[in-house]
Structure 1
Amino acid sequence: MNRVTQKLLFSFFFLLVGLSFGVQISQLVENFLFAEAGIYGNEAMIELFNYFSLGIVGFVMAIVAGGGVIYLARKKQQEIGFGEHGELYYEVFRESLNAQFLVCENGSFYAVSQGMCARVELQELELISGGMSQLVDEKSFVQFKEWQSSGKDFDQLELRLRSQSNVSNQLIVSLNHTHLNGVFLGQLIDIKEQTQRQKQHELLAITLSSVGDGVICTDTEGKISFMNPVAEAVLALLSREVEGKPFNEVMPLINEESKEPMEDPMQSAMSEMQTVSLSQLACFRNHLGLEFAVEVSCSPIFVKPEEIAGAVLVFQDVTESRLMRKKMAHLAHHDALSGLPNRLLLQDRLIQACKRAKRHAHQFAVIFLDLNKFKLINDNFGHDFGDELLKHVANKLTSTIRACDTVSRIGGDEFVLLIDAMEDRRHVRLVIEKIFSAASGEYEIKSTKVKASFSAGIALYPNDGDNAETLMKCADMAMYRAKKVGHSNYQFYCTTLDKEAEYCHERENELIKAVERREFIPYFQPVVNAQNHQIEKLEVLARWKSGDEVIEAQQFIDIADEAGIGNQLSMQVFEQAIEVFSKFIAHNGSLQLCLNLSVKHLLDGDFEDQLLGLLERHHLNPEQFELEIAERPLLERADDLRSRLETLSRLGFKMSIDDFGLGQTNPALLKELHFDSIKIDPSFVREIYGTGQEDDLASVMINIAKSLGVNCIAEGVESELQARTLASNGCNQLQGHFFSVPVGSEEIEHLLKVD
């Protein structure tokens, strides 16, 4: 039954009630009036009066009775809380799909919503007639009564339905006091929905607590409302300590390099209504003074489209990774041993220096600096010792030059200096002499003293080149010229070096072709007995027969080694020399052949087999050969050569030290290496003039040979005086132009008197 039908029925009811009252009242009036007036008998008038009075009185009574009932109903509605527009509110409440109800303190329902009826699967009249006492079990109803007596304004009660049905018999009811005494508003809460929401909240809380990033939430005013444990740990503050405080006050972000404050990302995200990411240089310092590098991303929190409830900031502590990136970037551009700029950073600074010099029209210098005899130091004292020496040298060089200049280590014992904005060559000379004075000299490392000296090459911008590559090349060429001229020397680049380099390049190509054409031939120089001058040995010397010209080894042997064909060239000469020697040995069985070897020969894994193959082919024995190696490279690579020298000695080859006295002679080491002969360098023989005093050095060399128990040979004998003096001092064998210049195979046959 709808509300309109109810109103019509109520109106009809009030009308009947009014009419019945009107009949009674009109009868009383009739009896009173007509009896008093004595006018009974006029039936027409009486009947007319009855109808008239009945109508008037009935209408009035109907209005009074209906109005009274309506007034009382409205008053009751206002008392319950529906107010002036009670019918509308009542209808809205009843039609609501939310499970709501109004319950009085005695447990009777005043009103229930359609959602409530659907939830408990009961009709509205059933609920209202039965009340809460019939809806829930006794224990739940007692719980409802206890809540009333507790005086709580709001609570959630867990109630159970009295009747069993298809729905869950468990209800979660939210009860609230209304503004009227004894009337309460109730609402059913979906257990599944509440449980799911609770699980989601728990999962969200666990997730935010478990993530490795810091999370901070703020409201629309930028005040912190939440922080996860990671953020608490980094800030060294608890969430409750910072709740309600401005974000910028708790976590002020600054630029890592400039230390300038950064814009508040929370406000930026909310004003722009999009995600904001800060640069990789963001960092902050917490209240304990600890600084953290962070990567920050901030997003607005939307409740509805275009409606923001605040912002959430997610940050990562990247302090370690940023430090690692800086370290890796430093290592990529700096030498790991010395900490100096490496070749890559030097190249960049050279390019920038060229641009500055071009813009400001000034000069600068590139200096190639090489540490002399560093290989020997490394071999004698070990690589750790060498590394320490390089560190000391790097410190000396850095402290010597200006802050605007650059010292770079590009590998091994090579340093490059960039002297910026210099005036002229005189300025560069002053700088390089200052460097030589400061960095050269004695260093004490691990309680051991060692002397260091340098060779340097200098190239100038723009005279020697206008780009980094050309300047580096020119300075390198000048440095190699300085090493050839002599130690502790520096050379400026000049065009002559280009010509020399071009000559060497052309010479290399010619030598390669000459090896292919087998143009290298052996020459022989006799080694004679110091007493009777009989030939006892023949030293093989390489010659290049280029057309009609015969070129000595000094003019091509170094270029051949640099071109990588030194071993191939030597084996070509040895092969021819051994073939000729096999004929000589048939006439003189005690004759020996001397072969000059380089360090590359000895370190070549195939050399030993190749040499033994040649001997086997010509039916010769190792005892008939003496292998010569220069003293200086021998001492520099003694550790690397030791096992190979011992192997050759065990095979029967005689071993000889050439150019004896030019290196840092170490008798103990020479004795340990088991050499059979030493050859005194010609520079000592040339000093023999028969005056006695100048002969001392040659005599010292002869005495060293005697003390070592080895054969002594003197090279470069050019006069009878030299030969006689050496022989009288105990030298065993002599060699030089006084006896014979190096000659070809045909000439040596005549000297040996071979038929």
Structure 2
Amino acid sequence: MNRLTQKLLLSVFFLLVGLSFGVQISQFIENWIFTEVGQYGNESLIELFNYFSLGIIGFVMAIVLGGGVIYFARKKQQEIGFGEHGELYYEVFRECLTAQFLVCENGTLYAVSQGLCKQLRTSEEKLVELGLKGLIDESSFEKFIRWQKEGDDFAQLSFRPLHATQNQEEFIVSINHTHLQGVFLGQLVDVAKQSELQKQHELLAITLSSVGDGVICTDIDNKITFMNPVAEAVLALLSDEVKGKAFQEIMPLFHEDSKEPINDPMQQSMQELQTVCLSELICFRNHLSLDFAIEVCCSPIFIRGDKIAGAVLVFQDVTESRLMRKRMNHLAHHDALTGLPNRLLLQDRLVQSCKRAKRHKHQFALIFLDLNKFKAINDSLGHDSGDELLKQVAKRLTASIRACDTVSRIGGDEFVLLIDSMDDRKHVRHVVEKIFHASSGDYDLRATQVNVSFSAGVALYPEDGENADILMKSADTAMYRAKKVGHSNYQFYCAELDKEAELYLEKETAMIKALREKAFLPYFQPILNAQTLVIEKIEVLARWQHQDELIAAEQFVDVAESAGINGHLSMYVFELAIPQFVEWLKDYPHLQMCLNLSIKHLLNSMFTEQLMTLLNTYQLSPQQFELEIAERPLLERADELKATLNALSDLGFSLAIDDFGLGHTNPSLLKELHFDSIKIDPSFINEIGGAEHQDDLALVMINIAKSLGVNCIAEGVECDIQATTLASHGCDQLQGHLFSLPVPGTKVDELLGQSFSIK
């Protein structure tokens, strides 16, 4: 029966009741009125009165009774129903999809939702007829009655399904108070679904707790509602300590480099309704003042479609990886030993300097700096000392320039300085001299002190090059010219150096080809006894047969050294000369052969073995050979050569210092190195016979040789007066064009049989 039918029946009922009461009242009035006035016998008047009074009184009574009943019913409905707008609320409650119902104190169901009907697969009328007692078991209903008496806030009652099945569903009825007296709100809970939902919640909680990233959730007001253990560990706070607090208060973000604060990404994601990922270098500082580098991604949380419930932030602690990335980036652009910019970073800064100089129309300088004798220090004192020296040099170089300039190490003992905004060459000279003054000199390496000097090449922008590559090449070329000129020297680049470098490269290429084609020959020059003028030694001199020209060793030995073929070239010449020497020994058994060695020969650990193998092949002894080493390079690396020289001396080789006098050798060093001969440089011999006292130096050197007890050889004797003077002052042996030019092996027999004399 619907509500409209109920209302119609109720209206008819009240009308009939009102008419019944109206008849009784009408009869009473009739008797009283007509009896009193004496008009009772007038039938027509009485009948008219009866009809009229019956209608009036019946209508009034119907209204009064109906209104009263409706009033009290409405009042009761407000007490147990939905209030003033009961019809509307009732219909809304009935249409609710949640399994809910309203139950009175006695267990009558006042209203049930469509959700409950659907859940139980039963009609609304059937559920109302059953009441609460029909939905739950007897013990649960008794518990419901007790619960009312005890006044508890909440109760959960078991539910007895209406239709038991094989896979019987399990439900729980939860009962709660409402604001209406005697009316309770019930809700049906599917235990299986609730259990599954609870499992999902537990799984979600475990997942969020186990995930390696930090997770923070906020509500619509950006107040923190949840943090997983990773977030708790990073923030050093528990979830309960931060719940309800603003996200920005707990985790303020800032940029790693600028330290500027970053806008709240949680608020941004909720405003833009999309995921927000921060690609900058993000950091935050927790309440313990510990800084963390993080990567952040925020997303809004939606419920029921498009309604925002808050936001979730997922962050990853990348502090270690970011530090590692910085270290790797630093190592990629800086020298691992000194910490200075390396070639890669220098190239980048040089490119930027070119662009800046071009834009502002100013010039700058690029300085190539090379340590002199570094290899000798490194080999003699060890690599640790060499590394320590490079570190100290780097510090001095850095301290000698401005903060806007760059010092870089591009490898080995080579440094490059980028000096910005130079006015002119005079200014550049002042800077280079300042660098030389600050960085050259004594360095303390553990228990040893070494003296360091530099060679430098300078290139200017834009005069010597308008891009990085050309400037690097120009400065490098100038530096090699400085090394040739002399130690502790610097040279500016000029165009002629490029031509010289090209010719030098061409000569290197030609020499390598000549060695491959065996275009080198041994030539020989005799060394005579100064008193008897008898040939006692034959010096081997290399010659290069280049096309129709015979080139002396003095013109190509440096090129061979830089090309790295000097060792191979010398050994090749020795292999050609020694078989001829064997033939001469047959007639002149006391003859010695002099071999010129470079420092690289002596530093090569295989050279001594190769030389001994060659001698053994021809059954020759070391005593038949004298090894000559130039004085200047010998002094530069004397410490590292001592062991090799001693080993050669122990084998029986005689040792001679060539070009003596050019390097200002300390006599005590000669004693220490156990040399057998000194060869006075031709420049000192040429002075003999000239102006007064010009021959003093040559004679002094003869006296030095006497005091040391070593043999003295005068090289470059050109005239009789030189030979006579040298011989008279005690020189032991003479060599020069006065006696013979260097000759091929075919003419040595003739020389050996020749008699020499001095006029």
Verify same fold: TM over 0.5: yes
Partner-residue secondary structure (3-state), 2:283: strand
Amino acid in structure 2 at the alignment position of 1:742: P
Structure 2 CA distance for partners of 1:681 and 1:181, relative to 1, 3 Å: same
Aligned residue for 2:429, secondary structure, equals: helix
- Structure 1: give runs of 5+ residues left out of the alignment: 43-48, 707-711
After TM superposition, give the deviation of residue 492 of structure 1 in Å: 1.9
CA distance 1:381–1:722, change in 2 (3 Å): farther
Offset at residue 521 of structure 1 (A): 1.5
Taking the aligned partners of 1:669 and 1:146, their CA distance within structure 2 comes to 118
Does the 8 A contact of 2:268 with 2:276 survive in 1? yes
Q: CA deviation at 1:386?
A: 1.9
Q: Is contact 1:18–1:62 with CA below 8 Å preserved after alignment?
A: yes
Is the CA contact (8 Å cut-off) linking 1:522 and 1:577 kept in structure 2? yes
Residues of 2 paired with 1:342 and 1:351: CA distance? 14
Matches within 5 A, 1:104-143: 104-113=104-113, 115-116=115-116, 119=119, 128=128, 131-133=131-133, 135-143=135-143
Which residues in structure 2 correspond to 1:738-749 (within 5 Å)? 739-749=739-749
CA deviations over 1:22-80 (Å, ceiling 9, x no partner): 999999999999xx9999xx9xxxxxx99999999999999999888777766654442
Change (3 A) 1:163 1:190: closer
Map of 1:187 onto structure 2? 187
Corresponding position of 1:263: 263
| Bigger mean CA deviation after superposition, 312-321 or 625-634 | 625-634
- Alignment: residue pair count: 739
Amino acid at match of 1:724: A
Who is 2:678 aligned against? 680
- The Cα shift of 1:156 comes to 4.7
- Residue 401 of structure 1: how far off its partner (Å): 2.1
**Could you say which residue in structure 1 is the equivalent of 2:542?**
542
Q: Which amino acid aligns with 1:630?
A: I
For 1:251, the aligned partner's letter is M
Provide the rounded CA distance (Å) in 1 between the counterparts of 2:446 and 2:601. 35
Q: Distance in 1 between matches of 2:405 and 2:746?
A: 63
Report the CA distance shift for 1:657/1:302 in structure 2 as closer, same or farther (over 3 A): farther
Shift in CA distance, 671/298, structure 1 to aligned 2, threshold 3 Å:
farther
Quote the residue 2:173 is aligned against: 173
Q: Structure 1 residues 502-511 or 91-100, which shifts more?
A: 91-100
Q: CA deviation at 1:724?
A: 3.2
TM-superposed deviation, 1:454: 1.6
Task: Confirm or deny that 1:473 pairs with 2:476.
Answer: no
Q: Could you tell me whether the CA contact under 8 Å between 1:595 and 1:625 is conserved in 2? A: no
Q: Any idea what SS the aligned residue of 1:325 has?
A: helix
Equivalent in the alignment of 2:357? 357
- Correspondence for 2:627: 628
Residue 483 to residue 53, structure 1, CA distance change in 2 (3 Å): closer
Partner SS for 1:280: strand
Decide whether the 8 Å contact of 1:680 with 1:698 is kept in 2: no
Relative to structure 2, which stretch is displaced further, 506-515 or 385-394? 506-515
Cα distance in structure 2, aligned partners of 1:220 and 1:398: 56
Q: Point out the more displaced range, 653-662 or 604-613.
A: 604-613
Q: Is contact 1:375-1:636 (8 Å) kept?
A: no
Distance in 1 between residues matched to 2:89 and 2:266, nearest whole Å: 44
Q: Secondary structure at the match of 2:681?
A: helix
User: 1:608 Cα deviation (Å)?
Assistant: 7.5
Structure 1 residues 663 and 446, CA gap change in structure 2 (3 angstroms):
farther
User: Shift of residue 657 of structure 1?
Assistant: 4.8
Supply the distance in 1 between the matched residues of 2:363 and 2:95 (Cα, whole angstroms). 94
The offset of 1:412, in angstroms, is 1.8
- What letter corresponds to residue 578 of structure 1 in structure 2? I
Equivalent in the alignment of 1:247: 247
> What amino acid maps onto 2:727 in structure 1?
R
- Alignment correspondent of 1:507: 507
Task: Write the letter of the residue equivalent to 1:405.
Answer: D
Deviation, 1:542, is 0.5
Deviations 1:317-372 (A, max 9, x none): 33333333333333322222222222222222222332333333333222222221
| Structure 2 equivalent of residue 709 of structure 1 | none
Is the CA contact 2:592–2:626 (under 8 Å) kept in the aligned structure 1?
no
- Are residues 1:291 and 2:291 paired? yes
Compared with structure 1, are the counterparts of its residues 9 and 466 closer, same or farther at alpha carbon in structure 2 (3 Å cutoff)? closer
**1:231: how far off?**
3.5
Q: 1:461 and 2:461 equivalent?
A: yes
The aligned residue for residue 323 of structure 1 is: 323
2:757 paired residue number: none
Aligned partners of 1:606, 1:451: CA distance in 2, in Å? 30
| Aligned counterpart for 2:723 among listed residues 686, 699, 720 | 720
Check conservation: 1:591, 1:624, Cα contact below 8 A: no
One-letter amino acid matched to 1:348: D
* Partner AA of 2:330 in structure 1: H
How far apart are 1:456 and its partner, in Å? 1.8
Letter in 2 for 1:358: K
Q: 2:658 corresponds to which residue? A: 659
Q: What residue in structure 2 maps to residue 147 of structure 1?
A: 147
Which 10-residue stretch deviates more, 66-75 or 356-365? Answer: 66-75
Cα deviation, residue 566, structure 1: 3.2
In structure 2, how many angstroms separate the alpha carbons of the residues matched to 1:332 and 1:142? 81
Q: 1: distance between equivalents of 2:96 and 2:304?
A: 24
- Check conservation: 1:379, 1:636, Cα contact below 8 A: no
Percent identity between the aligned chains? 61
- Indicate how the Cα distance of structure 1 residues 515 and 161 shifts in structure 2: closer, same or farther if over 3 A, else same: same
Tell whether the 8 Å contact from 2:363 to 2:460 is kept in structure 1 after alignment.
Answer: yes
- Deviation, 1:187, is 0.5
Q: Which segment drifts farther, 532-541 or 445-454?
A: 532-541
Q: Distance in 2 between matches of 1:672 and 1:387?
A: 28
Change in CA separation of 1:742 and 1:202 when aligned onto 2, cut-off 3 Å = same
Which whole-Å CA distance do the structure 2 matches of 1:134 and 1:513 have between them?
A: 114
Shift of 1:554: 0.9
Contact 1:536-1:592 at 8 Å conserved across structures: yes
Query: Counterpart of 1:276 in structure 2: which amino acid?
Result: V
Supply the distance in 2 between the matched residues of 1:648 and 1:569 (Cα, whole angstroms).
21
Give 1:502 shift.
2.4
Could you tell me which residue of structure 1 aligns to residue 376 of structure 2? 376
- Amino acid in the other structure paired with 2:751: L
Note closer, same or farther for the CA distance 1:274–1:99 as it changes in structure 2 (3 Å cut): closer
Q: Distance in 2 between matches of 1:700 and 1:77?
A: 138
Deviation at residue 750 of structure 1 after TM alignment:
0.2
Q: 1:198 and 1:541, CA in 2 relative to 1: closer, same or farther beyond 3 A?
A: same
Other-structure match for 1:580: 580
Moved more, 691-700 or 234-243: 691-700
Q: Residue type of the partner of 1:680? A: I
Over the aligned positions, Cα root-mean-square deviation in angstroms equals 4.9
Deviates more, 1:350-359 or 1:655-664: 655-664
SS at match of 2:431: helix
Q: CA deviation at 1:524?
A: 0.8
**Does residue 342 in structure 1 map to residue 345 in structure 2?**
no
Per-residue deviation, residues 100-142 of structure 1 (Å, max 9, x unmatched): 2222223343444454456456676665555444543444334
Instruction: Measure, in 2, the Cα distance between the counterparts of 1:305 and 1:121.
Output: 28
Question: SS at the partner of 1:551?
Answer: strand
| Alpha-carbon distance in 2 for matches of 1:253, 1:439 | 46
> Does 2:211 align with 1:218?
no
Counterpart contact for 1:685–1:722, Cα < 8 Å: no
User: Shift of the alpha carbon at 1:487?
Assistant: 1.4
Q: Is the 8 A contact 2:334 2:340 kept in 1?
A: yes
Question: C-alpha deviations, 1:363-391, integer Å up to 9, x for none?
Answer: 32222222211111112222222222222
Q: Does the aligned pair in 2 maintain the 1:520–1:542 contact within 8 Å?
A: yes
Change (3 A) 1:149 1:681: farther
Q: Deviations over 1:83-107 (max 9, x none)?
A: 5676676566556553222222233
Partner secondary structure for residue 357 of structure 2: helix
TM-score, with normalisation over the residues of structure 1?
0.81
| Equivalent position of 2:276 in the other structure | 276
The answer to whether the Cα contact below 8 Å between 1:376 and 1:635 also exists between their aligned partners in 2 is no
TM-score, normalised by the number of residues in structure 2: 0.81
The answer to whether the 8 A contact 1:300-1:312 is kept is: yes
